Amino acid sequence: MKIKYWVLILGLLCAVNVAAESLTVLGSGGEKYYVYDALGRDYVNSKNTNEFIELAAGDYQVKFNSVFLPVTLAAGQTLQIATGQVAVNGEGFEHYYVYDEFNRTLYTNAYTHESVRLLTGTYTIRVNNSLVQITVKANELTIAQVGKLIVQGTGDDYYQTYDEFGRESRGNTRYTNKSIELLAGDYVVKLNGTEKIATVIAGQTTTLQASKLAVTGIGLSNYHLYDEFARGMLTYSSRKTNAYFEVFAGTYQVRLNNTGKTVTVQTGESVTVPSALLTFPNSNAIKYTLHDEQGDYLTYSSFYGGDRIELFAGTYILKTGGNEQQVTLTTGATTSTGGQTTEVTETETTPETETDTTTSTETYEAGIAAGIAQCKQNPSSCGLYNGTDIETAKTAGRTFCTDNPAACGISVVVETETDETEQTCTVEASSESETTEDALSATLNMQLNIDLPLLIHQPLIGDPISLWAKLKVYEETTAEGNLLFELADFGVYGEE
């Protein structure tokens, strides 16, 4: 009987000892904490904050909001682990992230203006990858204050924020006129490759003003944006003439078909750089090449009569065969500030066909024969799209040689009258070449570019529209090996 009593007393004492060791994590009661073994591997138990877990004395790892805390529970000890809170003051549209002291391990995240409860210690806070270290103290609220950065502009282009050295990005890109929340500090802001340094102050909005820069023209060619010394492109994207880049104030070079102009842009200013349009003359030349004033190639592409290219004002050389011709393009522009767009006057220059002054005078009928030969060789220069209609070629040849006598080997056009007296005629610019609808078909030239003299566009509403178009072939083909074509130019039929 005495033995049973002793066993009962010993059992009660053991029960009291087990119940005497316990721990809890203090908090709101709505979040869980977890207890693991001393190595943090094996799960032991979990409870809501403010609820106790009974444990044997020993070493444990307590996990709360992904943060591990080593603890030692002594015999008979009731351990209460304190927490604190952290919050980032903002508008509530962006997330902030909590990392360890060394900015390596992510613990938790929340929207700005929301608080997070953490074990006491030192942490790194990230807002759009901008960083600040904070210390969480027991039963205290630690607040990190953000500021706002915005680039004012048209809202059409993106800007990107980087660290103070311009190396690591801070947050995603934003359209101009859209703000980004950042922790206080210095940042490099890039807009189409142009840069500006900004200082963000906690609780304040820092505003940068964008400017606008464009090359004006007819929207035919693409231009690129380079640094002041044209050492490299600021952005790999290009724009058609008349389309703007948003940029920060500075000096830049714009490049158009390998011709360049240096321009200085002031803050908030809208600046345009005018281009000129060069139209290659119709002649008996098979093709032209384009060179700068020193004779160096501007482009290795070949051009045919009627082709057009946008360039900056300057002097250029057209070469065909063994001949060359110098042409000068001019433009005029007036720049105004205060957000006003530059007014541009464009000059379209079509170089005159080169005249060979050593060519002897031919008769008018001989000119017709030369015109027929020209139109057979290069139908599109005569407004024809096949070389088989001789009668049409005769009419087109007559018109062509009247307009371009030198191209037909004629220095003076002479007609023989019925009284056999010779009369020198003045050549006037003729109207459109006489062609019939039967002669209008697509021409595929040696470069695989397609001229469509007449096509019908049927809009959703209204009558069909007669158009002309030029298609240029891409260097790449589809997966099936089919050619791809780009719409290079088009207009209303009869108004080319």
Q: Is the model more confident about 442 or about 247?
A: 247
Q: Is the pLDDT of residue 57 over 70?
A: yes
pLDDT at residue 307 is higher than 70: yes
CA dist 441 → 387, 390, 432 (Å): 11, 16, 17
Distance of CA 483 to the CA centre of its chain: 26
Kindly state the average pLDDT of the residues 366-395: 55
319 forms beta bridges with 289, 324
Question: Of 126, 122, 121, 132, whose CA–CA distance to 169 is shortest?
Answer: 126
Q: How far is Cα 265 from Cα 96, in angstroms, rounded to an integer?
A: 37
- Helix (H), strand (E) at residue 4: helix 2-20
**Per-residue DSSP letter, 437:** G
Q: Are 222 and 164 in contact (CB under 8 A)?
A: no
Residue 409 confidence (pLDDT) above 90: no
Type of residue found at 164: E
pLDDT computed for residue 299 by the predictor: 87
* Chain centroid offset of residue 431 CA: 43
Q: What percent of the chain has pLDDT over 90?
A: 53
Interval 206-233: pLDDT, tens: 999 999 999 999 999 999 999 999 888 9
Query: Given this model, what pLDDT does residue 491 score?
Result: 76
Distance from C-alpha of 121 to C-alpha of 135, rounded to nearest angstrom: 6
pLDDT at residue 361 is higher than 70: no
Answer whether residue 396 shows pLDDT above 70: no
Structure tokens at 38: 């001393």
Q: Please determine, for residue 437, whether its predicted confidence score (pLDDT) is greater than 70.
A: no
Sheet holding 43-48, edge to edge: 43-48, 32-36, 58-64, 67-73
Average pLDDT over residues 180-200: 96
- Burial code (b: 16+ CB inside 10 Å, e: under 16) for 385-407 equals beeebeebbebbbbbbbbbbbbb
Average pLDDT, the chain: 78
415 pLDDT more than 80: no
Q: Is the pLDDT of residue 411 over 80?
A: no
Query: How does strand 158-162 pair with strand 141-152?
Result: unpaired
pLDDT at 195 over 70: yes
Q: What is the CA radius of gyration of the chain?
A: 40
At residue 63 the predicted structure's pLDDT band, cuts being 50, 70 and 90, is very high
pLDDT band at 430 (very low <50, low <70, confident <90, very high): very low
Amino acid sitting at position 374? Q
Amino acid 393: pLDDT: 56
Residue 91 has pLDDT above 80, yes or no: yes
Contact assessment for residue 448 and residue 385, using Cβ atoms and an 8 Å cutoff = no
pLDDT-derived band at 471, boundaries 50, 70, 90: confident
Q: Write down the pLDDT at residue 395.
A: 62
Q: What is the pLDDT of residue 51?
A: 96
Looking at residue 429, its pLDDT comes to 30
CB-based contacts of 183, cutoff 8 Å, min separation 6: 125, 127, 130, 131, 132, 144, 145, 146, 147, 200, 202
Tell me which residue of 71, 66, 82, 80 sits closest to 38, measured CA to CA.
71
In the chain, what are the domains?
Answer: 2-81 (2.60.40), 82-209 (2.60.40), 217-353 (no CATH), 362-438 (no CATH), 444-492 (no CATH)
Taking a C-beta distance cutoff of 8 angstroms, is the pair 327, 349 a contact? yes
For residues 70-95, average pLDDT? 94
441: confidence class by pLDDT, cuts 50, 70, 90: low
Task: pLDDT band for 418, please (50, 70, 90 cuts).
Answer: very low
Query: Reduced to 3 states, what is the DSSP secondary structure of residue 87?
Result: strand
| d(C-alpha 281, C-alpha 363), whole Å | 24
DSSP 3-state of 288: strand
pLDDT of residue 71: 96
pLDDT, tens only, 31-54: 999 999 999 999 999 999 999 999
Predicted pLDDT of residue 380: 52
Mean pLDDT of the region 253-269: 95
Return the DSSP state at 455. E
* H-type alpha helices, 202-295: none
